[in-house]
Each structure stands twice: as structure tokens, then as C-alpha cells.
Amino acid sequence: MPETYHAIDELVTPFCEELSIPFIICQSTLRGRIQDWHLKNNAIPMIGFKSCTGNWKIRVIRRIMREYVGNGRGKPLVRVQLGITTDESRRANASDVKWAVNSFPLIEAGISREDCEDRLVKAGWSVRKSGCTFCPYQGSESWNYLKTNHPELFEEAVNLEENYRANRPGRRQGLLNKPGRWLIDGIPEKKGSECDSGGCFL
């Protein structure tokens, strides 16, 4: 979302600089942009398949961490702090590698999503939930926001889905996660699953 990049430039980067915290943007050198890869491979990200978060988030971040810590031959080398809140504690899973140990500081501090939002508002920060613009985990509200506020990005999602449909005939489900319902036909009234329902970083 452009709002996420704006928040990084205007809020996160200055905040990290002030506290001398290194802020590194990790990019996939193997597969390139997530939307380009899916377009080229006639694919879309799908609920239940964790390849998008695995390939464009977890593996990319781990590769960068490895550059810093090297190889500990099974020993824990990194403490990964994941910002999962108390209301989504089902997502707080142990790491699947020994060298990077997951920790959940917000859960340890008893902080919920609402608490986070309250704190951001009090600090004068206006932040929208981050995520890919074409994420199948987003609900109708989020799709409508994208369509209204970033029509060119909504169009990109439509193109991604239309390319998938054209090249994979017989597939009945797209980014709206509803059989037979496609973005080009409009966004259903009913809310779908939300982006924080656990697709990423499980």
C-alpha cells in the first residue's frame, strides 16, 4: 500500500534514526516483485498456500539475517520479534528453524490490536494496516478502499486475476476467495476474511 511506504518514510525511518536502530528494507533478489512473478507464472496468491509469505517475506528476511549472523550449525543465533497482538495469539507459533527463535513482545506485554491503534492515535500517527494490495486475505472494505483510493492498484489486481483466469481455465476461485466471484464483476457487500486472519508469518 502506498500508505505503508509513506509511513516508512515519514514515521518509521526518522523514529529509527532518532534511536539509532538500523532499518533495513529486504527485497527478494531471487524472484523479483511478487506481482510480476505471479503474472509471469499465471498465478495468484491463494488462501491456505503460504508460498507468498514464505518466498517474499520469511525467506528474504532470513537471508538478510544470515548475512549478519552467519551459520551457527543448529545453535540459536537470532531472536526474531514478531508484532503479533493478544487478539491474534493463534498466530504466535514457534520458528521452524533452530537458529532463529521467535518471540512476541506485544503478547508478552499484554497489548492488543486496539491498544496499538490507541497508542498510534495518541502519538499523532495515522497508520493503515499493511499488506499486498492484491492480498486474498483482505475483505470487501479493504478492496473498496483500494478501488476508491488507488484505482491503478485495483486495476493491477484485476489484471493479475484476469491473467490467471485466462491461462488456467477451470479454476473457480480468485482473489475474492469466493467460488465463481471475480474482481472484474465487482466487490461483494459481505465482508470476507480479513488480512489479519493469519495468512502471513504463520
Closest contact distance (angstroms) between CB of 17 and ligand SF4 is: 27
Closest to 137 (Cα-Cα) out of 76, 72, 50: 50
| 135 part of the interface to ligand SF4, by CB under 6 A | yes
Closest contact distance (angstroms) between CB of 135 and ligand SF4 is: 3
Query: Residue count at the site for ligand SF4 (CB under 6 A)?
Result: 11
Q: Which listed residue (1, 35, 38, 52) binds ligand SF4 by CB under 6 A?
A: 52
Closest to 93 (Cα-Cα) out of 104, 85, 109: 104
Q: Which three cell numbers stand for residue 56?
A: 517474499
Nearer to ligand SF4, 2 or 72 (CB): 2
| 45 part of the interface to ligand SF4, by CB under 6 A | yes
Amino acid type, 44: I
| 56 part of the interface to ligand SF4, by CB under 6 A | yes
Q: Where are the alpha helices (DSSP H) in 8-150?
A: 13-18, 34-40, 51-53, 59-69, 105-108, 113-122, 140-149
| 131 part of the interface to ligand SF4, by CB under 6 A | yes
Helix (H, G, I), strand (E, B) or coil at 100: strand
Closest contact distance (angstroms) between CB of 101 and ligand SF4 is: 22
Q: Which listed residue (1, 7, 53, 192) binds ligand SF4 by CB under 6 A?
A: 53
Helix (H, G, I), strand (E, B) or coil at 101: strand
| Contact (CB, 8 A) for 176 and 183 | yes
Q: Interface with ligand SF4 by CB under 6 A: which residues?
A: 45, 52-53, 56-57, 131-132, 135, 137, 199-200
